[in-house]
Structure 1
């Protein structure tokens, strides 16, 4: 008796793939023969989940740790005091700074914000660290754009620490 059974196809017919593959609520159930199968007509998602599956935009950014500037002018224009304090207490200041910058860029892209030029400050996009992971606080113009386009309370950044470069992404949920 083998511990691993290799399959050559998914446990559902091809026509059900869009309804099963990315549906966290899809469940197989026993049929009349005692086998497990997915229903031919997938249940409609409860309305409370429909909103959760609507993504308006995804922002992704990758930053080389060595490419992030750390001059006083750059830091003061783009990071809040809380963000800088967090970076200072981390084991690798530059890696933390690169991750923060990548996350700010990802938020900017997810919101589909019209650019105000390469020199525009990113201080209005603040990254907060909490017990359940990072979150984003938007103020000023960034907040106005977000309220028009997405639900900021439903968005959370995904930071992936690597030696270099540092990727970051954020789904913007409407």
Structure 2
């Protein structure tokens, strides 16, 4: 279960080339993970574990900003609502806004504990709303 609660958890290959989770995180290797990423991972892990002792109903997702290709209109239109596209597009950093919205959608999806359809699952059915301060 810890691998699901640690956004920086990694697997490695054993001698038979099987992927195994070894409770080793890349958090300790500062050349790969910034201090702020380590702190974020720590906060998210504590948040997920604090939910009545289990992760049930808690979704956590962290995404690299660079992983969101805002130039891929098919991806954007398939996964974001018109309101989200308008909001993210007018943000000072659209790619950051899309990445944050994507992470929020993924966290909601995880918290619902529904069966994933992999790359075929559209997240357009989940809409991230902002408060009056646009947060």
With the shorter chain as reference, the TM-score category is: 0.5 to 0.7
More helix by share: 2
More strand by share: 1
Kindly tell me the number of residue pairs found equivalent between the two proteins. 82
Is 1:74 the equivalent of 2:67? no
Per the normalisation by structure 2, the TM-score is 0.55
Q: Secondary structure at the match of 1:85?
A: helix
Higher relative contact order (CA 8 A, sep 6+): 1
Q: Deviations over 1:26-77 (max 9, x none)?
A: xxxxxxxxxxxxxxxxxxxxxxxxxxx8684110001000011220100010
Matches within 5 A, 1:24-173: 56-70=56-70, 71-131=72-132
CA RMSD, 1 decimal: 2.0
Q: Deviations over 1:106-140 (max 9, x none)?
A: 00111111102222110000011122765xxxxxx
Q: Provide structure 2 residue ranges, at least 5 long, that are not aligned to the other structure.
A: 1-50
Per the normalisation by structure 1, the TM-score is 0.43
**Distance across 1 between alignment mates of 2:94 and 2:110:** 24
- List, as ranges, runs of 4+ consecutive aligned residues in structure 1 with deviation greater than 2 Å: 53-56, 131-134
| Superposed displacement of residue 88, structure 1 | 1.2
